[in-house]
Structure 1
Amino acid sequence: MASATDTANPDPQASDGLSPDRPSSGRVALEKRAARRRYRGLPGSRLGRLILALNLLGLAILVVGALVLNEVRQGLVNARIDSLSTQGELIASILNQAATVGEPTPQMDAALATELLQTLSNPRAQRARLFDAEGRLVADSEWMADEVEQRDLPPARDRADDGRGFQLMPRAAPPTRHEVQAALQSEVKAALQGKPQSGMRRGDRGKRVVSVSIPIQHVRAVLGVVTLEASDVDAIIGQERRALIPFILIAVLVTVASSLLLNSLVAQPVLRLARAADRVRQARARAISLPDLAKRDDEVGDLTRSLEDMTHALSERMDAIEAFAADVAHEIRNPLTSLRSAVETLDIVSDPAARERLMNVLKNDVQRLDRLVTDISNASRLDAELSRDQPKPVDLGRLIGDIVSLYQATARAGDVQVVFAPHQGVEATRVLGREGPLSQIVRNLIDNARSFSPPGGTVTVGLVRMKGEAIVTVSDDGPGIPPENLETVFERFYTSRPKGAAFGGNSGLGLSIARQIAAAHDGTLRAENRTGAEGKVLGAMFTLTLPALP
Structure 2
Amino acid sequence: MTARFRRVRLPRPRSLGGKLIWMLSAAGVIGAVAIMVMLAAVITPSFDRLEEQAVQGHVERTRAALREFAGKVESASRDYGDWNDSYAYMAAPSAAFERDSFSVLAMANLGMDGMAYVAPDRRIVIARWVDQAAGRDVPAMRAQLVKAIGGIDLDAQLGPRSSASFYIRLGDRLSAIGVARVRRSDGSGDPRGFVLMARAMSSKQLAALVQLPAVIRSDTQGTAWRMTTRPRTLSIAVPIAGADGRPVADAAFTVPRDLTLLGRQMLWLAVGGTVLLLALMLLVLTRIVARLVLRPLARIERHMHDVRASGTMRVLREERRDDEIGSLVTSFNAMLRQLNDLSEQLEAQSFRLGRSESAVAVMHNVRNALSPISTILSHGLIQPPVADRALLDRAVAELANDDVVPARRRKLAGFITAATQAASAARIERMAQLEIGRAALHNVLDIIGEQQQAAHERPPLDPCDVTDIVARNAAIARYSGEHSIAFSFPAQPYWVLANRVILSQVIGNLFGNAAESIAARIGAGGQITVTIAEAQHDVTVTISDDGEGFDPATAALLFQRGYSTRSHKSGGLGLHWCANSMVAMGGALRLESEGPGCGAHAVLTLQAAQAMQASAAA
Higher relative contact order (CA 8 A, sep 6+): 1
Of the two, which has the highest radius of gyration? 1
Confirm or deny a common fold (TM above 0.5). no
TM-score, with length taken from structure 2: 0.28
TM-score, with length taken from structure 1: 0.31
Q: Give the helix-richer structure, 1 or 2.
A: 2
